[in-house]
Amino acid sequence: MTASEIDALNQEIYIESRFLDALQAETAKVIVGQQNMIDRLLIGLLTRGHILLEGLPGLAKTLAIKTLSAAVNAQFSRIQFTPDLLPADIIGTMIYNPNKAEFAVRKGPIFANFVLADEINRAPAKVQSALLEAMGERQVTIGNDTFKLTEPFLVLATQNPIEQEGTYPLPEAQVDRFMLKVKIGYPSQPEEREIVRRNLTGLAVAVQKVVSIEEILRARQVVSRVYMDEKIEQYILDIVFATRNPEKYGLPRLKNMIEYGGSPRASINLALASKAYAFLKRRGYVIPEDVRQICQDVLRHRIGLTYEAEAENMTAEDIVNQIINKIEVP
């Protein structure tokens, strides 16, 4: 891509990204701080990627998703995952109509643009598998009929990292379908003071629908055209391949720490997320810092740890940090 073409793309991005300012202004009416989380939700929105939010109770995970969906003129549904949930509660089922003597399809809450899967790890594997086809193929099969899900379709899931009693670990196949796993931290003291003040007023804030589906779909087209140099592509591949064969990248100690590394989905999603991050920064090209900023969220749930790593209290984030610090930046 020539310099003039990149300049033209920058101008187009400046125009097509205007809705982001309105969207962030609306979410700021309700959400204090947590800009990292909001950015990651927007990246998922711009790249058709599903997001898994992990954090302690009370950190506005559910509230952020509900607020974002309220600001977009799209359909929203919430599924509270519980141990007694059934697959039909998610995708729908066939209902017999005695008057017509025939079965009719009753669609479930998965048929929406934004699907909030709250406390997703509280439902058993059979229910988790009901999400796999929807997340991967963007379609749902009920009886003998297959239904396409309308775009944008985004699964935004939350889970609690500490209360593990009565929870079910997510299957690796399903975890891999989440583009990003975002860890939510505590707000700063000034932010928490503002949170307390807002809640003491008792006034409900009305979030306006400021973004249309058409604007999002146009922005997705622009994101797909963000320029990525071959050196950046190689940088992404080196990072992902280092999670599989760390000894080939000068990290022999990590070989015994990693049970399995990132799949090809890791490379795809790291490239897509880097493009979307560049779009958020109003740039028509990807720089290495874009990759570094989003790398943890793409890889932390795609690296399996050995018992040796757990014995040494090493986390997936520690491994990703070592890899990022070792791989040469183009």
In a domain, 23, yes or no: no
Spell out where the chain has E strands.
50-54, 76-80, 92-97, 102-107, 114-118, 139-142, 145-148, 154-159, 178-183, 258-260, 304-305
For 34, other C-beta atoms within 10 Å of its C-beta total 23
- Whole-angstrom distance, CA of residue 7 vs CA of residue 111: 39
Residue 96 is assigned to a structural domain of this protein: yes
Structure tokens, 272? 């897509």
Last residue of one domain, picked from the residues 164, 187, 218:
218
The reply to whether 182 falls in a domain is yes
Task: Please report whether residue 82 resides in a domain.
Answer: yes
On whether both 311 and 190 belong to a single domain, the answer is no
Q: Are residues 292 and 174 in the same domain?
A: no
272 found inside a domain: yes
What pLDDT score was predicted for residue 163? Answer: 58
pLDDT at residue 37, as a whole number? 84
Q: Are residues 151 and 286 in the same domain?
A: no
> Does one domain contain both 255 and 214?
no
Tokens of 204: 């409900």
- Residue 122's φ and ψ, nearest 5 degrees, are -95, -5
Number of domains observed in the structure of the chain: 2
Three-state SS sequence of 223-285: HHCCECCHHHHHHHHHHHHHHHCHHHHCCHHHHHCEEECCCHHHHHHHHHHHHHHHHHCCCCE
Residues 259 and 194 in one domain: no
For residue 34, tell me if it sits in a domain.
Answer: no
pLDDT at 143: 76
Domain holding 66: CATH number?
Answer: 3.40.50.300
CA dist., res. 182 & res. 269, Å (int): 14
User: What is the pLDDT tens value at each position of the chain, 330 positions in all?
Assistant: 778 888 888 888 888 888 888 888 888 888 887 788 888 888 998 998 899 888 877 777 778 888 888 888 888 888 888 888 888 888 888 887 788 777 778 888 888 888 888 888 888 777 877 787 788 888 888 877 888 888 888 888 888 776 556 566 777 777 888 899 988 888 888 888 888 888 888 777 778 888 888 888 889 999 998 999 999 999 999 999 999 999 998 888 888 899 888 889 999 999 999 999 999 999 889 999 999 999 999 999 888 888 998 888 888 899 999 999 999 888
pLDDT at res. 293:
93
> Regarding beta strands 92-97 and 102-107, do their DSSP bridges make them parallel or antiparallel, or are they unpaired?
antiparallel
Same domain for 257 and 176? no
Residue 17 domain-assigned (yes or no): no
Q: For residues 322 and 231, state if they share a domain.
A: yes
What range defines the domain where residue 306 resides? 226-326
The values of phi and psi at residue 132, to 5°, are -60, -45
- Asked, as a colleague might, if the bond just before 152 is cis with ω within 30 of 0, I would say yes
Q: Indicate whether 115 and 193 sit together in one domain.
A: yes
User: Which pLDDT does position 180 carry in this prediction?
Assistant: 92
218, 253, 284 - which closes a domain: 218
Whether residue 214 is found in the same domain as residue 240 = no
